[in-house]
Amino acid sequence: MEDHTMKIWRTALACAVLVIGTTASACAATPYVSGSAGIAMLEDSDLGHGFTLPYDAGMAVALAAGLDMGNLRLEAEVGFQENGIEESDDLEVAVTTFMANGYYDLELPLNPIKPYITAGIGLADVNAEELAFGDDSSLVLAGQIGVGAGFAVAPMITLDARYRYLMTTDAEFDGGPDISISSHNVMLGLRVGL
């Protein structure tokens, strides 16, 4: 658990550095909105005592609004993912995230492709109602890191492909075990400047 928490705090520090470094540029920023969808591959949750909870691949969606300051971007994002439990038709875990993300876009001369790195910090509402825990949701600290690339398809419109690793502190439920949440998400979306 300590190692997982340290990863989240490192993510928070990376995000804070991006925020501090971009404050002076915010006045010249271009606002944008974005939406994306993709595959969420939730890692097995550690239930303790050698037991794990395995998941099927699921779906993930995200909506965001942000400010583009050239090479740096800041945004607020709401995301949702849902993963079924392996070998079960009706059991699932849903995660709703509320994140503050920072991006650093890498410039490639004369190239419509712009790769980037990203980090974010926020909260996640982990819902496990179907697992018959006494308290069916848990609000926990969340962080994410990732890489991606934007492809300019028209003025002010960018096709965005990304990979993100999402992690949270352990979700705690009355009447059930704590469960660890970490997910590899691959997503495709559009970013539109305003």
Please write down the HEC assignment for all residues of 12-71.
Answer: HHHHHHHHHHHHHHHHHCEEEEEEEEEEEEECCEEEECCEEECECCEEEEEEEEEEECCC
How far is residue 173 from each of residues 62, 80, 120, 137, 177, measured CA to CA in Å? 26, 20, 25, 7, 6
Grade residue 51 by pLDDT with cuts at 50, 70 and 90.
Answer: confident
**Range of lowest pLDDT (57-61, 75-79, 87-91):** 87-91
pLDDT above 60 (res 148): yes
CB 4 within 8 A of CB 167: yes
- Tokens at residue 119, please? 């980090």
Q: What number of other Cβ atoms are within 10 A of residue 113's Cβ?
A: 12
pLDDT above 90 (res 184): yes
Per CATH, the number for 2-193 is: 2.40.160.20
pLDDT above 60 (res 20): no
Residue ranges per domain, the chain?
2-193
Burial tier of 49 (Cβ tally within 10 Å: 0-12, 13-18, 19+): exposed
Three-class SS state of 87: coil
- The torsion angle over the Cα atoms of residues 137, 140, 145 and 151, rounded to 10 degrees, is 50
Output the furthest CA–CA distance in the chain (Å, rounded): 58
Grade residue 42 by pLDDT with cuts at 50, 70 and 90.
Answer: very high
pLDDT above 60 (res 21): no
- pTM score, two decimals? 0.82
**Tell me, what's the pLDDT at 135?**
61
145 or 5, which is more confident: 145
pLDDT above 80 (res 87): no
**Tell me, what's the pLDDT at 14?**
63
What is the rounded CA–CA span in Å between residue 126 and residue 136?
Answer: 8
